[in-house]
C-alpha cells in the first residue's frame, strides 16, 4: 500500500546523500518533496501541514547542523515524525478488571467488520483468551450466517439467538450476550454491529444504544484503508455519533495510496490498534507505529519477522537442522529436511510479504511481487514423490528415478533435475555459512570467511605492480598500457600467452569449411 510513498521518499533522501552540510535551501527542497509525496499518498492536508512543520523545525535546528551525517539525521527526523503521526507508542487492548472484557466493532458498510471479528477472535485465542462473537448485525442479509462461518473457521464460540435478515432486536441481543458470557465463562465478548453510513441517523443511534447497553471496554472503529481521506471524514462522524477508543485498519494489503493510515490517528486523536493485511485469519496483528514507519522508509520490519518466526519455528528443530548443516559438509541435510523448513516458512505467510519485511528489499519490489507461492507447493509435490532414501541422499536420483518422480508430481523431468541441482548448491552455501566460511564464490565479509585467499592474492599482485616516481615516465607507461588494451589480444592470446602464430597461408580443412 505504501509502495508509491516509499519510492518518493527514497528518491528525496537520495538527493541528500553525499552532502557534508545542508543549507536552508536543501531542507526547504526536501520538505517540499515530502509534502508532495504525502499529498499524492492521499494524506489529509491538516496532517501533512503538521508533519512538515515539525520536520522543518527540527531539520533547521542544531539537531542537523551539528550532526556528523546530516542526511541520515534528516531521515531519522522523518522517521520520528512518521511514528508520531501514526500514533506514537503501540496501543494495547484494555481488559476489564472483573467480568468479561467487551469489545464493540463499528464502521461503514463493507469495511470488513464481520471478517475482522473472526480475525480478532482468532488473535485473542492465540493470546490464551476465550472469546465469544456476538451477532448484532441483524440488518444485512446473511450477516449472521457469515459470522457463524467465520467463527467456525477461527475456532471460537458465537452467540446468535436471532436469525437476522431484518428480524430481531440487536440491542437486546448485545445485552443478553453479556449474561451468556458470564454463565459460560468467556472472558472476551466481541460485538459485531451493523454497517452504517455516517449520515444514517437511525443506524447511528442504534450503535449508540448498543454501546449504552453493554458499556464496552473498547469500541473499535473499523476503517477500510483503501478509501483515503474519506476515512477521516467517516471517522469524525463516528467520533461524534458513537465515539470510539481505537481504530482498526482493514485491507492494508490493497494497492491504494495509504492516506487513511497516516491521517486518521492524527486527526481523531484515537490510535490505530490493529491492522488486517490479508484474507487469512492469521493476516492480522497489533499495529506498531514504529515498525510501520520503518517499512514506509524502506528499512524493513525485522521485529515482526522475528515474532512470526518465533511463533512458527521450534528452537529444538532449528538447532537440529543447524547441526546437520554444520557437520560432514552438510551431507546429513537432505531434501526431507529442506521440505520441513520450507513448510515452516510457508506457515509464516506469503513469501512476498516476508521478503518485504527485510531491509533494502524495496529496490527489488517488482521481483518480490512476481513470486508465486504455488511454486512452494510444486517443490513440495516433487519432494513428496521421492522415496525416503532419495530424500536422504539425492545423489541416488538418476535418469529413470527422475522420470518416475516427475510423473508422480505432475511436472516435467527438467524441473526435477533443476530442483536437485539447486538443492546441492543451496546446501553447499548454507553449510559454508553454518561453518563460518562465508558464501562460496563471494568476497569475504566482516566476521565471515570466503574470498579471503583471493583477496590476499589480489592485494599481493597489486602491491607488486610498482609505478615510476618520474611523472613523465609514469605517464608514458600509462599511455603504453592504454595502447596495448586498445590493440586487443596479442598474437596467440586465444591459446595462451606466447602461443605460436598461425602461418599466413593456413587454411581450414574442407570438412570444417563445410560445417561453417
The pLDDT tens digits for 335-355 are 888 888 777 777 766 666 666
The residue among 177, 182, 174, 179 whose CA lies nearest residue 213 is 174
Among the CATH numbers 1.20.120.10, 1.10.3720.10, 3.40.605.10, 1.20.120.140, which is that of 3-85?
1.20.120.140
Q: Which segments of 259-301 does DSSP mark as H helices, in order?
A: 259-268, 289-296
The reported pLDDT for the residue numbered 484 is: 66
Binding residues for GTP: 107-114, 192-196, 250-253
Give the start-to-end residue ranges of the domains of the chain.
3-85, 101-299, 305-434
| CATH number of this structure's domain 101-299 | 3.40.50.300
- Per DSSP bridges, beta strands 218-224 and 246-250 are parallel
Cell readout for 242 is: 458513537
The residue among 454, 363, 353 whose CA lies nearest residue 10 is 363
Percentage above 70 pLDDT, the chain: 68
Cell readout for 341 is: 523448513
Do residues 274 and 249 make contact, with C-beta atoms less than 8 angstroms apart? Answer: yes
Cell readout for 302 is: 525485522
Cell readout for 55 is: 520536520
Cell readout for 476 is: 608514458
Binding residues: 107-114, 192-196, 250-253
Calpha distance 6→40 (Å, rounded)? 12
- The 10s digit of each residue's pLDDT in 444-483 is 434 444 444 444 445 545 444 555 556 666 667 777 777 6
Calpha distance 264→237 (Å, rounded)? 12
| CATH number of this structure's domain 305-434 | 1.10.260.30
- The 10s digit of each residue's pLDDT in 254-267 is 655 667 667 788 78
Do residues 96 and 295 make contact, with C-beta atoms less than 8 angstroms apart? Answer: no
Calpha distance 141→194 (Å, rounded)? 11
Q: Which residues contact 340 (CB under 8 A, 6 or more apart)?
A: 317, 321
Please, which pLDDT band fits residue 498 given cuts at 50, 70 and 90?
A: very low
Amino acid at each position: 500500500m505504501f509502495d508509491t510513498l516509499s519510492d518518493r521518499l527514497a528518491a528525496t533522501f537520495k538527493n541528500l546523500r553525499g552532502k557534508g552540510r545542508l543549507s536552508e535551501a536543501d531542507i526547504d527542497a526536501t520538505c517540499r518533496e515530502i509534502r508532495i509525496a504525502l499529498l499524492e499518498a492521499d494524506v489529509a492536508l491538516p496532517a501533512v501541514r503538521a508533519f512538515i512543520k515539525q520536520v522543518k523545525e527540527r531539520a533547521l535546528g542544531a539537531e542537523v547542523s551539528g550532526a556528523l551525517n546530516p542526511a541520515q539525521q534528516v531521515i531519522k527526523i522523518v522517521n520520528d515524525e512518521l511514528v508520531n503521526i501514526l500514533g506514537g507508542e503501540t496501543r494495547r487492548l484494555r481488559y476489564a478488571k472483573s467480568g468479561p472484557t467487551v469489545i464493540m466493532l463499528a464502521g461503514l458498510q463493507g469495511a470488513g467488520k464481520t471478517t475482522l471479528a473472526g480475525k480478532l477472535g482468532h488473535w485473542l485465542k492465540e493470546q490464551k483468551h476465550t472469546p465469544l462473537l456476538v451477532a448484532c448485525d441483524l440488518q444485512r442479509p446473511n450477516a449472521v450466517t457469515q459470522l457463524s462461518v467465520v467463527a467456525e473457521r477461527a475456532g471460537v464460540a458465537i452467540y446468535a439467538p436471532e436469525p437476522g435478515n431484518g428480524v430481531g432486536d440487536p440491542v437486546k441481543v448485545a445485552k443478553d450476550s453479556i449474561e451468556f458470557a458470564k454463565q459460560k465463562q468467556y472472558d472476551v465478548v466481541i460485538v459485531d454491529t451493523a454497517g452504517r453510513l455516517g449520515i444514517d441517523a437511525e443506524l447511528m443511534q442504534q450503535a449508540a444504544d448498543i454501546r449504552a447497553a453493554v458499556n464496552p471496554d473498547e469500541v473499535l472503529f473499523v476503517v477500510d484503508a483503501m478509501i483515503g481521506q474519506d476515512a477521516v471524514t467517516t471517522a469524525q462522524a463516528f467520533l461524534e455519533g458513537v465515539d470510539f477508543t481505537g481504530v482498526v485498519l482493514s485491507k492494508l494489503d490493497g494497492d491504494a495510496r495509504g492516506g487513511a493510515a497516516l491521517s486518521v490517528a492524527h486527526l481523531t486523536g484515537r490510535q490505530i490498534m490493529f491492522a488486517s493485511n490479508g484474507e487469512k485469519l492469521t493476516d492480522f496483528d497489533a499495529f506498531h507505529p514504529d515498525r510501520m514507519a520503518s517499512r514506509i522508509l524502506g528499512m524493513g520490519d525485522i521485529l515482526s519477522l522475528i515474532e512470526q518466526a518465533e511463533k512458527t519455528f521450534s528452537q529444538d528443530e532449528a538447532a537440529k537442522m543447524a547441526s546437520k548443516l554444520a557437520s560432514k559438509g552438510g551431507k546429513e541435510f537432505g531434501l526431507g529436511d529442506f521440505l520441513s523448513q520450507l513448510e515452516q516458512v510457508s506457515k509464516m505467510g506469503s513469501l512476498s510479504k516476508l521478503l518485504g519485511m527485510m531491509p533494502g528489499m524495496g529496490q527489488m519490489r517488482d521481483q518480490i511481487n512476481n513470486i508465486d507461492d504455488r511454486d512452494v507447493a510444486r517443490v513440495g509435490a516433487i519432494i513428496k514423490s521421492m522415496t525416503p532414501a532419495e530424500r536422504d541422499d539425492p545423489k541416488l536420483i538418476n535418469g529413470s528415478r527422475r522420470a518416475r518422480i516427475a510423473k508422480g508430481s505432475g511436472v516435467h523431468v527438467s524441473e526435477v533435475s533443476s530442483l536437485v541441482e539447486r538443492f546441492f548448491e543451496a546446501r553447499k552455501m548454507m553449510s559454508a555459512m553454518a561453518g563460518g566460511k562465508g558464501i562460496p564464490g563471494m568476497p569475504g565479509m566482516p566476521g565471515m570467511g570466503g574470498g579471503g585467499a583471493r583477496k590476499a592474492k589480489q592485494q599481493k599482485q597489486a602491491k607488486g605492480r610498482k609505478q615510476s616516481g618520474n611523472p613523465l615516465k609514469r605517464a608514458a607507461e600509462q599511455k603504453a598500457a592504454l595502447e596495448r588494451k586498445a590493440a586487443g589480444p596479442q598474437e596467440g592470446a586465444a591459446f595462451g600467452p606466447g602461443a605460436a602464430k598461425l602461418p599466413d597461408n593456413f587454411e581450414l580443412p574442407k570438412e570444417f569449411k563445410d560445417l561453417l
